[in-house]
Amino acid sequence: MLRISIFGTGNVAGHLFEAFAAADSVEVEQVIGRNKTALASFERKAETVSDFTQIADTDIFIIAVKDGAIAEISEYLKEKKGLVVHTSGSVPMAVLSHCPRYGVLYPLQTFSKDRNLVMDSVPFCLEAHDKRDLQLLKKLAGRISGKIYEVDSQQRKALHLAAVFVNNFTNHLYHIGKEICDEKGLPFAILQPLIEETADKIKQLSPYEAQTGPARRGDSETMAAHLEQVTKLENPTFKDVYEILSASVKKLYRTDDGASN
Amino acid sequence: MLRISIFGTGNVAGHLFEAFAAADSVEVEQVIGRNKTALASFERKAETVSDFTQIADTDIFIIAVKDGAIAEISEYLKEKKGLVVHTSGSVPMAVLSHCPRYGVLYPLQTFSKDRNLVMDSVPFCLEAHDKRDLQLLKKLAGRISGKIYEVDSQQRKALHLAAVFVNNFTNHLYHIGKEICDEKGLPFAILQPLIEETADKIKQLSPYEAQTGPARRGDSETMAAHLEQVTKLENPTFKDVYEILSASVKKLYRTDDGASN
């Protein structure tokens, strides 16, 4: 049995809590947070604690709070014998180095309230100062996910940046697609199959191979027509997005092989 | 029985051919194209024709060729009694107006060679000069897809632009994600669950609601750190992409409600 504590009451803490509470051979002993209202939703399945002098001794302390609050919370754990980990993509492991045992358990996924996730397919990026602790983290993460990766702080930082491109920015492109549909009275659902196929296709082809469209084939006529259209949209920023992304695609293929498709 | 002809031997023509050849109550009578080698792959299931004076009379002629070649091919059909349609997102229906009956059958999807698609979930955007012909197109498209939309030429042009954002540009963001992984020796597969969840989430939340990340919450510190990282990438264009997309996200939320999350 692995006895764990979770710090935080936000989306990541909530999703990890639900997964670990349902997992075999894991016991979530305490959920610790300052917001008593938010803590209430955890009460049924674990002890909840808002007084930081009441932190119990467990095997693993998971700090799932905002990046800026990790160091402060870890101050309460520097006398603990258990392994202290945070769940952030962009904070180096070293921020916990004043604790006797420390590491990182970074779930590479976007978590939303009110949206269930299959935790088994969430990649867990693990790092630990000590090799045995890395094994312990693998054991713990393996209880809720089938996708376990060893990732050091530099790599994790890169992944966090990559996630901004493929998740945050992609979502913004979806938003632009929706605005275009809205302006013409079209349902956004009409784009959903294309969006899903785009995401699915790259399991079979690399994104480099999968690239299509006017910028890829150097079709200046279509791009000029699109620019004229995009200029008429309510939001003038979308024109800049069209121009920069087209330029980036064009540059990528022109530099590489001078070809078009 | 609907008797149809398909012009073209590319991806769209090939996928439509396979779907219609397998459909009930549709007969693909001819596949017409200039490239005899490409025509060969259609021979088993239809008559193939490379001599444009040998075009048979069928109920519907589907011109599934490059945008620039549609008008030229339609010249061969201006004496035909059947309905002439093209499959392009960006070409107005009027390009076919010298034919007695004309319309558009636009499948809103990205088609790749060697990749099977479930045609039933592909949205078909239909337009016809005549109301009865619109009904005929609905009947035809309904034989292979469950998603039928009436879309006029202006709307279709907007959809084509929206598709560039959600498909072409999104795929380019995936490519940037892959380059970042490659530079750090990480498998691109580690991003796949995040990519799929991003595409799936917007069935439940609007992209506007689903937006997260440093630009959304106005986290200048993380954005500065990302910019420093992205500047070190091999491809200098990716920094511009980061900046413009972050600016676009920031602007959207600042203008709307001044809030952050």
Type and span of the H or E element at B215: helix B214-217
Looking at the complex, does the CB of residue B227 fall below 8 Å from at least one CB of chain A? no
Distance from the A58 Cα atom to the nearest Cα atom in chain B, whole angstroms: 30
Q: What span, in angstroms and rounded, lies between the C-alpha atoms of B189 and B196?
A: 11
> What is the ipTM metric for this complex?
0.94
pLDDT, residue A118, reads 87
In a domain, A261, yes or no: no
In chain A, which stretches have pLDDT less than 50? Answer: 257-261
pLDDT, residue B255, reads 56
DSSP string, B13-77: HHHHHHHHHHSTTEEEEEEE-S-HHHHGGGTTTSEEE--GGGPPP-SEEEE-S-GGGHHHHHGGG
Q: What are phi and psi of B174, to 5 degrees?
A: -60, -40
Distance from the A52 Cα atom to the nearest Cα atom in chain B, whole angstroms: 26
Type and span of the H or E element at A59: none
The closest CB to that of A173, out of B123, B170, B201, belongs to B170
Query: Which among A151, A179, A208 is the end of a domain?
Result: A151
Distance from the B22 Cα atom to the nearest Cα atom in chain A, whole angstroms: 21
Statement to judge: residues A21 and A125 lie in one domain? yes
Among A12, A144, A167, A182, the strongest candidate for a mutation testing the B interface, having the largest count of B CBs within 10 A, is A167
Q: Which of B14, B97, B83 is nearest to B48 (CA)?
A: B14
CB atoms within 10 A of CB A80: 18
In a domain, A87, yes or no: yes
Q: B3: which strand partners? A: B27
Q: In B18-42, which positions are buried (b, 16+ CB within 10 angstroms) versus exposed (e)?
A: bbbbebeebebbbbbbeeeebbeeb
pLDDT, residue A259, reads 43
CB B230, CB A169: distance < 8 Å: no
Closest chain B residue to the Cα of A231, Cα to Cα: B161
Looking at residue A48, which CATH number applies to its domain? Answer: 3.40.50.720
Q: What span, in angstroms and rounded, lies between the C-alpha atoms of B73 and B65?
A: 9
Statement to judge: residues B118 and B200 lie in one domain? no
Q: Show the tokens assigned to A204.
A: 């079979």
Interface of B with A in 68-97 (CB under 8 A): 90
Statement to judge: residues B92 and B168 lie in one domain? no
Interface of A with B in 150-209 (CB under 8 A): 151, 154-155, 157-159, 161-178, 180-181, 183-186, 188, 190-208
Statement to judge: residues B14 and B36 lie in one domain? yes
Q: How far is CA A73 from CA A61, A77, B79, B229, in A?
A: 11, 7, 80, 27
pLDDT, residue B257, reads 46
Statement to judge: residues A206 and A78 lie in one domain? no
| Containing structural domain, residue B232 | 156-257
Q: B49: which strand partners? A: B32
Looking at the complex, does the CB of residue A12 fall below 8 Å from at least one CB of chain B? no
Distance of CA A39 to the CA centre of its chain: 23
pLDDT, residue B117, reads 81
pLDDT in tens, chain B (261 residues): 999 999 999 999 999 999 999 999 999 999 999 999 999 999 998 999 999 999 999 999 999 999 999 999 999 999 999 999 999 999 999 999 999 999 999 999 998 877 788 899 999 999 999 999 999 999 999 999 999 999 999 999 999 999 999 999 999 999 999 999 999 999 999 999 999 999 999 999 999 999 999 999 999 999 999 999 999 988 889 999 999 999 999 999 985 544 444
Around A169, how many Cα atoms within 13 Å sit in the side-chain half-sphere?
32
Q: How far is CA B179 from CA A150, B57, B129, in A?
A: 19, 52, 47
In a domain, A96, yes or no: yes
Statement to judge: residues B9 and B32 lie in one domain? yes
Query: Which among B109, B134, B151 is the end of a domain?
Result: B151
pLDDT digits (tens, 9 = 90+) for A225-238: 999 999 998 888 99
Looking at the complex, does the CB of residue A231 fall below 8 Å from at least one CB of chain B? no
What value, to the nearest 5°, has the Cα angle with vertex A77 and ends A73 and A82?
130
In a domain, A43, yes or no: yes
Largest CA distance in chain B: 68
Statement to judge: residues B69 and B34 lie in one domain? yes
Beta strands in chain A (DSSP E): 2-7, 26-32, 47-49, 60-63, 83-86, 102-107, 124-128, 148-150
In a domain, A65, yes or no: yes
Q: Match 């983290």 to its residue by tokens.
A: A137
Q: What are phi and psi of B124, to 5 degrees?
A: -105, 120
User: How many domains is chain B built from?
Assistant: 2
Q: What span, in angstroms and rounded, lies between the C-alpha atoms of B229 and B231?
A: 5
Query: Which among A151, A166, A182 is the end of a domain?
Result: A151
Inter-chain CB proximity B244 and A240 less than 8 Å:
yes
pLDDT, residue A255, reads 56
pLDDT digits (tens, 9 = 90+) for B112-165: 877 788 899 999 999 999 999 999 999 999 999 999 999 999 999 999 999 999
